[in-house]
Amino acid sequence: MDDFLRLILLRDANTRVVLLGATLLGACSGAVGTFAVLRRRALLGDALAHASLPGLCMAYFVVGDRSFVAFLIGAMIFGLLGVACVSFVNAQTRIKEDAAIGIVLSSFFGLGIVLSRIIQNQPAGNRAGLDTYIFGKAAAMVRQDVMLIITVSAVVLLLLTALFKEFRLLCFDRAFAASLGWPATLLDGLLMALICLITVVGLPAVGVVLMAALLIIPAAAARFWTEDLLRMVLIAAGLGGVAGLAGTSISAMMSRLPAGAPIVLAASAAFILSMLFAPRRGVVADLLRRRRLRLRVSRQNVLRALFEIQERSGSTAPAAFGDLLAMRSWSAAELERSLERAERDGLIVGTLDRWGLTPHGQDEAARVVRAHRLWELFLVEQADIAPDHVDRDADQIEHVLPPELIARLEQQLAAAGRLPKVVPRSPHPIREVMP
Amino acid sequence: MNPAGLRADDFWIITTAVLCALSCALLGVPLVLRRMSLLGDAISHAMLPGIATAFLLLNSRALGPMLAGAVVVGLLTAVLTAALSRWGKVPEDAAMGVVFTSLFALGVILISMAASQVDLDPGCVLYGLIEFVPLDRTELLGIELPRATAGLMGVLAGNVLLLLLFYKELKIVCFDPYLATTMGISAAAVHYGLMATVAATSVAAFESVGAILVVAMLIAPAATAHLLTDRFSRMFLIAAGSGVLSAVAGYFLALNWNTSVAGMISVAAGVQFALAVLLAPRHGFVSRRMHQFLLALRITREDILGMLYRWKESAPSRGLGRAQVLAALGRGALPRVALETLRRARLIERRSDDTLELSPAGVAQARGLVQAHRLWESYLAKHLGLPLDHLHEPAERMEHYVGERLRGQLQSEIEQRSDPHGRDIPAD
């Protein structure tokens, strides 16, 4: 509890520094990750992060001490080497990118393990602190490390802002960018270098294994909220920042946890929430939309069936359940549910197994049938579709037909002198009621 | 612990490594061919929470529950990835990245929390503890052997059995999933069956070599084999051989430098792959570059011969200067190399005024080329009705590929003695 209070009130200077660093890191990798995900470089980031491990060890061999800057340079070199290997194998041999990524990732990581074990066997080896780079230990960050994160973040954000237009086109249509005379390969390389830079800076906090997650997850989550690239970058940066802050706080409170895992899980939680509850692309919104569509379709089917029975018999007397059932290929249970819903909505009234339209239902049914037949006529007249093929298509499309289109159809047909008075006549015979 | 101190157990460590390499390498073949390598990577990471949950619930390291837990989570990874990319409209690679990193993070946390009860730490989850395999023994059919070794024996036997049972189905699905579907073989069933097998194998292997190095064992030997052969059955054999070689070489190298055995095994697998990329006889980088170079050299040589022949035809008195030939062929070292090899082969001669001339042998070879060129032009004009100014370019390309037989056929096809431009077609 005391720990918790200290953390919340940011009493330690060190805690403040660490939280600031983790938040910035999350925000920055969210922003860069957006481009990585859109450019389909998500898993290359994973290979890059794993491949940087031997670089850390080599830096230790060369410098002989735990120097953050040397580590970063070593990691950067090996990370880019790994990426270069992947693209070489992909371009020059029959082995495809996925296998190349897997091989580079695992054998570079293996090399890293081999080298780090050799370092640990040296007398001073334990001071290297290489273990913290595998799973990350945000709490081990010092002011100097955070200053470096701030510098790198500033550089990365500056480049992203300056080249926003170029990267946008690169992500959405590389061939078009190249045809405009832009240096697409150079831009691709620059983007990869940015990904590499932010990955390497993130290693001490999040670790080799999970750093790719910080690039991928916030960006993938942000995609649910918007269709606009700039907004997506901002949302991803926000989500990444929150994940960094929350994850680091959690790992600060539970000292046994490596920092990488809670940061990634915080990001995953944001992803799951986004996926479920995002207003337009979210799963819940999608399910609701589908349900609404299904209900509308079933209501309109009931109305049209009743209307067509009345039209055929020439009276507005209620129709028998059996007659309705014979109108389309629907099950009795399905029809019953649809009828009940329509009755609740005040569109129809049922007495003794016979169903009739209310005045409101009559209007609604006339509107539905009119739209349906307008579309049928349109298809027959304008699209040259055989009359016996029309019914099914019209059936599906009338439920999504917007009012503007109906107005335009009416206009077109009126210009040809073919606009029917109230409800257009059906161009095909209406299905007879089976005895 | 110093692995050199475990000399009596060397046998068991190598056996375990070899079993692990074999079971993974065999599975890797369909993974690489079906372009599912990264799903293998994802599953070997994602099974961690399954194993951890089995630990936490049962508080034991029995293989059975761990296998069950990992297979469930492994399949979950495949299903979730597919669901995210289909319903969430997330790009497939990003969907995979989201799923397996999240599950892996969850697994790390579960294991960290369970660390007080179970002797496991997140580090060895990644790179395994094959050095300690001989310490934990069990009894199988009256023989005392390490528990991990026994588990891997079972997994290998299972994999081989499945492979033999479904060899034909696997082959068809690997090369043409649509044909497989039309033949009534469910590509989806094979896909998920493969995923379940990968998950089970990863679990058995992960104790020895860890999550990330399982990936090396799964993908690298199969990819190496893919570069070395074009036959499905041979690919399994080469992958298995490469896997075993990695295991044995990795062990002794690690012993030599006193370092991580699992790390060294995956480095050995990676090095084999790198060698295959560079040196594979047909698909390797060097041989393909060599092949391209030799082809370019042959074409340049033939172009020079043809040029000299035509020059002599039009201006028999004057020689063609070496500088003019080089200027006509463009920059680079290739024309010089071609000239030099032609001179060494005594096909051309260099006269004192620095002009070039064909030797009798050179004339014979050049005549064949020019004959092929003009026959092809005549053929194109006669049968394709191409206009005169469209004949030279295709013939210029084709002349290098017209062999004896085709030349004979063309000769019997074309009665005229001159080509459409009015030049004589040389006779044999």
**Residue B180 pLDDT > 60:** yes
**Total count of domains within chain A:** 2
Asked if the C-beta of B266 comes within 8 angstroms of chain A's C-beta atoms, the answer is yes
Q: In this structure, is residue A422 part of a structural domain?
A: no
Asked if the C-beta of A289 comes within 8 angstroms of chain B's C-beta atoms, the answer is no
Residues in Cβ contact with A430 at an 8 Å cutoff, skipping those fewer than 6 apart: A308, A311, A312
**Residue A191 pLDDT > 50:** yes
pLDDT band at B297 (very low <50, low <70, confident <90, very high): very high
Average pLDDT over every residue of B278-298 = 91
Q: Which residues on adjacent β-strands are paired with residue A127?
A: none
B267 and A286: CB-CB below 8 Å?
A: no
Considering the domain architecture, whether residues A207 and A342 belong to the same structural domain is answered as no
For residue A107, list chain B residues with Cβ-Cβ distance below 8 A. 216, 220, 266-267, 269-271, 273
Q: How is residue A369 written in tokens?
A: 């049938």
Domain-ending residue, one of A281, A308, A338: A281
Among A407-416, B270-279, B316-325, the range with the most confident prediction by mean pLDDT is: B270-279
CB B227 within 8 A of CB B32: no
Secondary structure (DSSP) of A341-402? HHHHTTSEEEETTEEEE-HHHHHHHHHHHHHHHHHHHHHHHHS---HHHHHHHHHHHGGG--
**Residue A385 pLDDT > 90:** no
Would strands B348-350 and B355-358 be described as parallel, antiparallel, or unpaired? Answer: antiparallel
Considering the domain architecture, whether residues A266 and A296 belong to the same structural domain is answered as no
Average pLDDT over every residue of B125-144 = 72
CB A153 within 8 A of CB A202: no
**CA-CA distance, B72 to B377, in Å (whole number)?**
67
pLDDT band at A395 (very low <50, low <70, confident <90, very high): low
User: Which residue, among B311, B93, B310, has the nearest Cα to A220 in the 3D structure?
Assistant: B93
**Residue A240 pLDDT > 80:** yes
Considering only the beta carbons, identify the residue of A224, A257, A286 that sits closest to B109.
A257
Residues in Cβ contact with B300 at an 8 Å cutoff, skipping those fewer than 6 apart: B329, B334, B335, B338
Between chain A and chain B, how many beta carbons pairs sit less than 8 Å apart? 211
Q: In this structure, is residue A127 part of a structural domain?
A: yes
pLDDT band at A124 (very low <50, low <70, confident <90, very high): low
Model pLDDT, residue A390? 57
Model pLDDT, residue A398? 58
Q: What is the dihedral of CA A279, A282, A283, A286, to 10 degrees?
A: 60
Domain-ending residue, one of A229, A246, A281: A281
Top pLDDT among B137 and A24 is at A24
Span B363-413 CATH architecture: Orthogonal Bundle (1.10)
Secondary structure (DSSP) of A313-331? HTS-PPEEHHHHHHHTT--
Model pLDDT, residue B312? 85
Encode A7-29: b = buried (16+ Cβ within 10 Å), e = exposed.
Answer: beeeeeeebebbbbbbbbbbbbb
Considering the domain architecture, whether residues A240 and A291 belong to the same structural domain is answered as no
**CA-CA distance, B126 to A69, in Å (whole number)?**
26
Q: How is residue A157 written in tokens?
A: 């954000």
Residue-wise pLDDT tens digits, B388-420: 888 888 888 888 888 888 888 888 888 878 888
Average pLDDT over every residue of A378-390 = 63
**Residue A238 pLDDT > 90:** yes
**Residue B2 pLDDT > 50:** no
Helix ranges restricted to H, A122-228: 131-135, 143-162, 164-172, 174-179, 184-206, 211-222
Top pLDDT among B225 and A148 is at B225
The H or E element that residue A293 is part of is helix A283-313
Considering the domain architecture, whether residues A277 and A291 belong to the same structural domain is answered as no
Question: What pTM does this model have?
Answer: 0.80
The H or E element that residue A298 is part of is helix A283-313
Q: How is residue A101 written in tokens?
A: 């990524």
Top pLDDT among A435 and B7 is at B7
Top pLDDT among B381 and B116 is at B381
The proportion of chain A whose per-residue pLDDT surpasses 90, expressed as a percent, equals 19
Secondary structure (DSSP) of B26-95? HHHHHHHHTT-HHHHHHHHHHHHHHHHHHHHHH-S--HHHHHHHHHHHHHHHHHHHHHHHHHS---HHHH
A111 and B267: CB-CB below 8 Å?
A: yes
**Residue A402 pLDDT > 80:** no
Output DSSP code: residue A140: G
Domain-ending residue, one of A281, A296, A321: A281
User: Which residue, among B209, B211, B163, B260, has the nearest Cα to B19 in the 3D structure?
Assistant: B209
Asked if the C-beta of B84 comes within 8 angstroms of chain A's C-beta atoms, the answer is yes
Considering the domain architecture, whether residues A313 and A264 belong to the same structural domain is answered as no
CATH code assigned at A128 = 1.10.3470.10
CB B301 within 8 A of CB B342: yes
Burial status of residue A294 (CB atoms within 10 A of its CB: 0-12, 13-18, 19 or more): exposed
What average pLDDT does the structure give for chain B? 84
Top pLDDT among A197 and A385 is at A197
Instruction: Count CA atoms closer than 13 A to A130's CA, side-chain side.
Output: 32
**Residue B423 pLDDT > 50:** yes
Considering only the beta carbons, identify the residue of B104, B216, B283 that sits closest to A107.
B216
Q: What is the dihedral of CA A33, A37, A39, A42, to 10 degrees?
A: 90
Interface probe for A, chosen from B198, B202, B219 (most Cβ of A below 10 Å), is: B219
Is B287-358 CATH 1.10.10?
yes
Q: In this structure, is residue A421 part of a structural domain?
A: no
**CA-CA distance, A167 to A182, in Å (whole number)?**
11
pLDDT band at A338 (very low <50, low <70, confident <90, very high): confident
Considering the domain architecture, whether residues A34 and A64 belong to the same structural domain is answered as yes
Give the distance from CA B216 to its chain's centroid: 14
Average pLDDT over every residue of B184-202 = 86
Under CATH, what is the fold of the domain B3-280?
A: ABC transporter involved in vitamin B12 uptake, BtuC (1.10.3470)
CB B226 within 8 A of CB A77: no
For residue A261, list chain B residues with Cβ-Cβ distance below 8 A. 105-106, 108-109, 112
Model pLDDT, residue B175? 87
Structural domain that includes position A256: 2-281
Asked if the C-beta of B329 comes within 8 angstroms of chain A's C-beta atoms, the answer is no
Would strands B320-321 and B143-146 be described as parallel, antiparallel, or unpaired? Answer: unpaired
What average pLDDT does the structure give for chain A? 81
B212 and A212: CB-CB below 8 Å?
A: no
Asked if the C-beta of B110 comes within 8 angstroms of chain A's C-beta atoms, the answer is no
Among A98-102, B64-68, B233-237, the range with the most confident prediction by mean pLDDT is: B233-237
